[in-house]
Chains A and B, each alone.
Chain A
């Protein structure tokens, strides 16, 4: 998909594969045939550049034909470079400019509470993304309004465009920060399905405060030469790289 498009965010999509598979097949109640079902659970891809992994999942769930995946980023295609609810069924709100998804997720969670719905709202954050100030404004709001139907998942892959997060702008101690902001914090290996499911189950039972699952992941996971390489943040694989990657994934 990314190879065909010739651009896009490879690394940050691969680090979130297991997280999103667990979420969409194991937790999120929704109906691809009726994307606006009022009692559905909602998902916000705050790290909007990981759109390719979300699109792949939505296509497999039946929101749109899989064939469309090969027209990612093309003029006239429904799959925009970053998630856009105007075009793509299954997308709740537009993202792409980092730092904004958590506020929108808060708003949707509050609306569900006002409407007495059992809707849960999930939001995937990037680790570099939490350098944005708005994330911390929203973190404060979620705790202040005791938004417990909200679960944030932080894809802690350690890399951002310019290099290691710790070198670009240190965000640690992450768990302590979120705890200090009034959140329940669960730390897991973000590539281990058992741990992911346990964390999602646990988050559902935490009341009176929001929960964040800090998922330790590897950028570019699954393809040895993508792994932990900042250069694959925003670059699509070329033909040779694609063949090597697919061969590795098949093994």
Chain B
């Protein structure tokens, strides 16, 4: 399966947009080689600002640039962007709804070797609770490029969570266009729905293939916008399949799984199984090994799905 770097897609798209739109400015906190904003820095040095290792000042400066009409993209690792500078994002950016695009890399456990200190498992939750904030997680490099174009033309604060790892390509040669707030059905099925974000969309598709071998037809949704979440597609899935599994490379507290549960519980209650990191910190290891360790492989997802399907009658009785 072809893989492509989500980070590279960000860097390239920034350069492409920067050519046309002179209001785009880019800030980084000493990680421009990793986040790929370096590509923009080399092309447009006068519109690139390395703020040094000071994420809080970076977010504040981005807010000031936005208040003066610029379109700032601020990048660093996901944990430093959303954790270290959370209150700056709250007060200086989200509070006034300023037009700052926070595009982070290194979300999730697939950061790998660097370990728990560097693996953001809380970032989506931290951004999702902020009023005015839009939260987006691309499923592959093609979608990332589309997201960057779309958010450039959208006024308001946005958080985009990228990854260190290259992702298998899902949207090549597909007639897909990303829209803020729209989930995408990447596979149809009527017995169960898997809603995933980021790399987990690929894993969910692989899990659906495994389930199909056993005759189970699974609906798979790429929920690339976590906020505002696509309530319509969640309700439709609940009605159609009666069971939902959410999969995220993020804490099961406060992220995609929580967002789906909020919708389902208030509209059309069906059993939801949240797969992700179970309220703990990450650890060092190779990304592939960590995905197995945290039970986020396609096999793990298929197994959880089967457990849920076996319990379906009982769970549905309980829900009703």
Task: Please report A residues at the B interface, Cβ cutoff 8 Å.
Answer: 42, 84-86, 92-97, 100, 102-112, 114-115, 133-134, 137-138, 140-141, 144-145
Contact = CB atoms under 8 A, between A and B. Distances in A.
Nearest to B66: A107
A114 B57 contact: no
A44 B305 CA distance: 54
Interface in B23-41: 25
Interface stretch (B89-97, B248-256, B267-275): B89-97
B306 interface: no
B64 A137 contact: no
Contacts of B63: 93, 103-104, 107
A45 to B, nearest CB: 13
Nearest first, the 5 closest Cβ-Cβ pairs linking A and B are A107-B64, A103-B60, A111-B68, A137-B57, A137-B54
Given A100-B91, A103-B57, A137-B56, A145 B96 contact: no
A94 B61 contact: no
Given A86-B95, A94-B95, A140-B57, 19 more contacts: A94-B96, A97-B90, A97-B91, A102-B60, A103-B58, A103-B64, A103-B88, A105-B64, A106-B60, A107-B61, A107-B65, A107-B70, A107-B72, A115-B68, A134-B88, A138-B60, A140-B52, A141-B52, A141-B61
Contact of B60 (A100, A140, A144, A145): A100
Contacts of A141: 51-52, 54, 57, 61
Query: Which secondary structure dominates where chain B touches chain A?
Result: helix
Given A107-B62, A107-B63, A114-B25, A100 B52 contact: no
Contacts of A105: 64
Contacts of B61: 103-104, 106-107, 110, 138, 141
Interface string B40-56: 00000011010110101
Contacts of A92: 67
B230 to A, nearest CB: 27
B59 interface: yes
Contacts of B65: 107-108, 110-111
A107 B56 contact: no
A107 B96 contact: no
A84 B96 CA distance: 8
Interface residues of B, number: 32
A108 B67 contact: yes
20 contacts: A85-B67, A97-B87, A97-B90, A97-B91, A100-B56, A100-B91, A103-B64, A105-B64, A106-B64, A107-B60, A107-B65, A107-B70, A110-B64, A110-B65, A111-B67, A115-B68, A134-B56, A137-B52, A140-B57, A144-B52
Given A103-B64, A104-B63, A105-B64, A114 B46 contact: yes
Interface of B: 25, 46-47, 49, 51-52, 54, 56-70, 72, 87-88, 90-92, 95-98
Nearest to A104: B64
Contacts of A144: 52
Contacts of A102: 60
B68 A107 contact: yes
A103 B91 contact: no
A85 B96 contact: yes
Contacts of A95: 91
Contacts of B97: 86
B50 to A, nearest CB: 9
Contacts of B49: 110, 145
